[in-house]
A and B are shown apart, each in its own frame.
Chain A
Amino acid sequence: MQTAPRLGAAGLVAALLIGTAGCQSGSAVADGDGPVDVGTIYDLSGSLSAIGTPKSDAAKLAIEDINASGGVLGRQLNLIGYDAQSDNAKYTQYATALVQKDQVAAIDAGVTSASREAIRPIVDAAGIPYFYGNLYEGGLCDGNVFATGSVPSQQLAQLVPYAKKNFGSSFTILAADYNFGHDEAAWAQKYIEENGGTVTRTEYLPLDQTDFGSTLNNLQQDKPSVVVSLLVGGDQMAFYKQFAAAGLGASTHIITPVFGDGQEQLSIGGAATEGIVIAYSYLQELDTPANTAFLAKWHAKYGDDYPYVTPSAVAVWNDWHLWAAAVTKAGTFDRDKVIGALESGVSYDGPGGKITIDGGSHHAIQNVYVAQGTKDGTFSVLQSYDQVSPAFEHSTCDLITKPDTNQQFKP
């Protein structure tokens, strides 16, 4: 009995030592001509992997693409990627690894807003430029962060008037009961009112809701012309199937700024996808030379049977090219100068069209495509809007005159 704790204690010390081995390396982003490390963290396993996996694939392809065209300032890029496993503690941990151990020059990371909030304090403290290439609820104003995904003032601002004009003026809002859902619902409410529509009902649904019986009953009772769906995640996708099964699609149209970014149209199938109206700054279905060339690269690397290239994956692709352009423009990897170059309004001709950094808000000016789901599970573009500004962020956030702002503005 006496020996037991001692052996255990020895084991503890041994584990400490083993744990530390292999964590001691680290390369500085010094000037030189070796490869420059850049980093990503996404969820590649767990419940969020459907969104995270295409983003990771996009990052790898983008870095390869940049390296193939000679790198940045003549230096090759080396991508260090981590799988956060749908666990926010892992984001904290890997963000710290990228900052302290890997000492990368730039980071593109995060899927949910929760993950972004876990990363932000760490990269802010270290002063490493952080790209968040994902659609989100908007309003973030942080001098170190560039949020290039679509925001409500780009998506809902087009979707609502389109629906009002084509479908009718009574709206029901269905939102996932968490931060994103509540924020987007507030935006939807605002745009519906601004456009002269009426909100007949707003429902918040638990993230693990799978039975939408009472929601469908309410829809049948209210008979709104439009449903604004802010539902997310695998469980809530059941709504679209049950909506279609109950035959509600004939009288009510669904608009949504989130559907498709997690390849939802594949998981629910064409019958339930048909008719759903979405708005994104990129769609795999876009028939443009830029997109054709982009998809050719993508499919050459990942195979022709790749499920779907999502808007947020392309946002990641754009992020790395924007960063490369900014470094090239600044002529150095120095953080302040790169951010200065980005704020000066760097642009890049991406697969979805031209994308330009709005210097003051650190958001992106980009095209928005309103599209409708078809019964074979794809989307066809109904209308496109060129170079839409992130209007709300542009009006509330000016990091050029107030570089120390660090908060998320709400409508």
Chain B
Amino acid sequence: MHFDHVVIIGTSLLYSVSLLVVAALGLALAFGMMRVVNMAHGELLMLGAYVSITLVHAGLGFWLTVPVAALAVGLLGMAVERLILRRLYGRIWATMLATWGLSLLLVGAVQFFFGTTTEGIANPLGTVKVGDYTVSAYNLVMIGAAVVMIVATYLLFHRTPFGATARAAAALPEMASALGVNVARTNMISFGVAAALAGLGGALLAPVSGVGPSFGQGYIGRAFMTVVVGGASPLLGTTSAAALLGGVNAGVSNLAGPVLGTVALLLVSMLVLRFLPTGLTGLWRRSR
């Protein structure tokens, strides 16, 4: 195997991992911090992609549309928290079913307003040459974006006063409230951040995907797997689960084809869950 081939396989491995991170981080954050299983996460990705696409068609540069998508979907997330989730905390089934309803509603709404097909956007970057191979420069951006998303989320929730407040408000609402934290507002912002990450992810995925109302469903299954395998800690869990699943998927795909790659991904997920019912995070906790 030549050096360039190794590089290209390594890149494609990292790319697979970063795709999972980009698609799953918002879901993991909402789940790990707030115990909200957001069934509408895929649709938040989809809306992020639509915001980006619409703005590109309106003449904005792609890179500008990415933060706008994050902001727009983040605001929507805050509204969802305020109008729906707030009434349902503590009842997991209720949040799941309500967000599921929201998911169907959003798919319907997007199809109603945008139709079944929407003009996609082109990949904004060219290619990078590695020996005999070429690789899309955008793939490298995606890898970078995944790293930035994780680091930024870490800094926000572990290195800022807001982060400490937010974690407290989600985990121990009564105590946080007694200490003068505005729990309702803090949770609204936290879910907004989770939604913004989904919007960001959707916008980043738009140039490499066909975008339609069911866009989110292509990612939701794998995103769920990542979160479940990762367990309760949003950052550590998502990163390690994405590394494991993405690595297994890309590795097996390269060796034995994509179908077996998918099978391997599912198999590994099931095994992890059997032996670590609280996900990889449980492993980290146990070894500490």
Contacts and interface: CB of A to CB of B under 8 A. Distances in A.
B209 A238 contact: yes
B258 A241 contact: no
Which of A50, A177, A213, A264 has the most CB atoms of chain B within a 10 A radius of its CB?
A: A213
B116 A50 contact: yes
A213 B219 contact: no
A209 interface: yes
Chain A residues touching B, range: 35 or more
A368 B209 CA distance: 30
Given A220-B134, A234-B212, A241 B123 contact: yes
A213 B15 contact: yes
Contact of A267 (B15, B117, B219, B262): B117
A238 B111 contact: no
Given A53-B116, A272-B120, A204 B218 contact: no
Contacts of B9: 217
A379 B45 CA distance: 31
B63 interface: no
Interface secondary structure of B, over-half rule: helix
Nearest to B131: A220
B218 A220 contact: no
Chain B residues touching A, range: 35 or more
A186 interface: no
A391 interface: no
A267 B211 contact: yes
B108 interface: yes
Given A49-B111, A237-B209, A238-B209, A209 B136 contact: no
Interface stretch (B32-40, B161-169, B249-257): B249-257
Which of B108, B136, B207, B217 has the most CB atoms of chain A within a 10 A radius of its CB?
A: B136
Nearest to A209: B258
Given A238-B210, A241-B210, A213 B134 contact: no
B258 A205 contact: yes
B202 to A, nearest CB: 12
A87 interface: no
Interface in B137-169: 138-139
B212 A50 contact: yes
Given A268-B120, A377-B119, A246 B136 contact: yes
Nearest to A216: B12
Contacts of A235: 209-210, 218
Interface of B: 5, 8-9, 12, 15-16, 19, 108, 111, 115-123, 125-127, 132-136, 138-139, 205, 207-212, 214-215, 217-219, 221, 249-250, 253-254, 257-259, 261-262
6 contacts: A53-B116, A210-B219, A213-B250, A245-B123, A269-B121, A307-B117
Interface of A: 45-47, 49-50, 53, 177, 203-206, 208-211, 213-218, 220-221, 234-238, 240-242, 244-248, 262-264, 266-272, 307-308, 377
